[in-house]
Structure 1
Amino acid sequence: RKCLLSRMDDNQVEVLEVSASNEIKKLDHIIKSMLGSMDGGEISTSAYDTAWVALIKDIDGNDAPQFPSCLQWIADNQLPDGSWGDDKIFLAHDRLINTLACIVALKSWNIHLDKCEKGISFVKGNLSKLENENEEHTTCGFEVAFPSLLEIARSLDIEIPDHSHVLQNIYAMRNFKLKR
């Protein structure tokens, strides 16, 4: 770099510095706008994670949730179609695992049963969409997490049919991964 600069006159160096400065400002603006679109870079609220936190029992031994605000968030954020998840884009894997987790959380505390029923209808009506979804859109670990959630749901008397071809494929993928 020093060799290149030593061959340049002062005007050329100044132009180069201005160009670099403008490029830095441009990149700074791009980064700030990207972070601004992500609410300051914070992680967005996850229905799945919120549902798991909502399952935590009160540390004082009461038969109550430790974090009732999580249950309220779940109740307040059900989408009109009965699901939970990203309202801007529909990805079947994401919507189904989020929805089942929220159903399990609400049913565990035996609250908002109307929302549970609406969620169950969504799950039953959309399981078949898993089969046609692009593999790139599959939630990481779905084939392990979703069957586990189904087992928890069944232990809470939540009826989700398990005889479908789609679910059989998911169970087979889970078993394959767990054997490795």
Structure 2
Amino acid sequence: ECVEYVKGLLGSMDDGRITVSPYDTAWVSLIADEDDGPRFPASLEWISRNQLPDGSWGDGAFFLAYDRLLNTLACVVALKFWNLHPRQVRKGASFIRDNMRKLEEAEPEHMTCGFELVFPSLLQRAQRLGIDGIPYDHPAVRSIFSVRDHKMKR
């Protein structure tokens, strides 16, 4: 199944363009214009149109806990930052709550580069925005914060 998925990905790379990243799109959507509105509203439209049925954002054909949770948290933060689509924010937060434990079960080699630095920062931002339903004190979260703190001391 994984081999076929990778073959499909490689076969769809016609001219070398990369696919849209929910994480990158969410960060772009946070940029404000001169009137303090979203500079790139199309990025928010993309986020609102591409939430998966389970409440997450990411590749619907292939689940990697680190990637899916990071993408979902970034999109939830972006929507909440602009106070848009509260139902989608709640659904995304529920996905995060229901799947946070999968970080404990995930293979470390599948960890997104920089995850231990980026994910805690996004969690702190989500908490400051008042996003309810995210388990900010989950053991997996505490573990990630510990890894981040250790790396930051170097």
Q: Tell whether the structures are fold-level matches, with TM greater than 0.5.
A: yes
Contact residue 124 and residue 161 of structure 1 kept, 8 A:
yes
**1:67, distance to aligned residue in structure 2 (A):** 0.2
**1:44, distance to aligned residue in structure 2 (A):** 1.0
Confirm or deny that 1:174 pairs with 2:148.
Answer: yes
Can you list the C-alpha shifts for 1:19-60, whole angstroms capped at 9, x where unaligned?
A: xxxxxxxxxxxxxx98642242111110000000000001xx
Instruction: Indicate the structure (1 or 2) with the bigger Cα radius of gyration.
Output: 1
Q: State the AA in 2 paired with 1:164.
A: H
Look up the match of 1:42: 17
Normalised by the size of structure 2, how large is the TM-score?
0.90
Equivalences for 1:94-113 in 2 at 5 Å?
94-113=67-86
Paired residues, number: 146
Q: Could you tell which deviates more after superposition, 159-168 or 91-100?
A: 159-168
**Change beyond 3 A, Cα 1:150–1:116:** same
Q: State the AA in 1 paired with 2:145.
A: Y
Equivalences for 1:16-35 in 2 at 5 Å?
none
CA distance in 2: counterparts of 1:168 and 1:125, whole angstroms? 16
RMSD over aligned Cα, in angstroms?
1.4
Contact residue 52 and residue 105 of structure 1 kept, 8 A:
yes
Q: State the AA in 1 paired with 2:24.
A: D
Look up the match of 1:80: 53
Normalised by the size of structure 1, how large is the TM-score?
0.78
Structure 1 ranges of 4+ moved more than 3 A: 33-36
Higher relative contact order (CA 8 A, sep 6+): 2
Equivalences for 1:29-178 in 2 at 5 Å?
36-58=11-33, 61-159=34-132, 160-178=134-152
Query: Which stretches in structure 2 are left out of the alignment for 5+ residues?
Result: 1-7
**Change beyond 3 A, Cα 1:132–1:111:** same
Query: Which stretches in structure 1 are left out of the alignment for 5+ residues?
Result: 1-32
Q: Percent identity?
A: 56
**1:107, distance to aligned residue in structure 2 (A):** 0.5
CA distance in 2: counterparts of 1:102 and 1:139, whole angstroms? 16
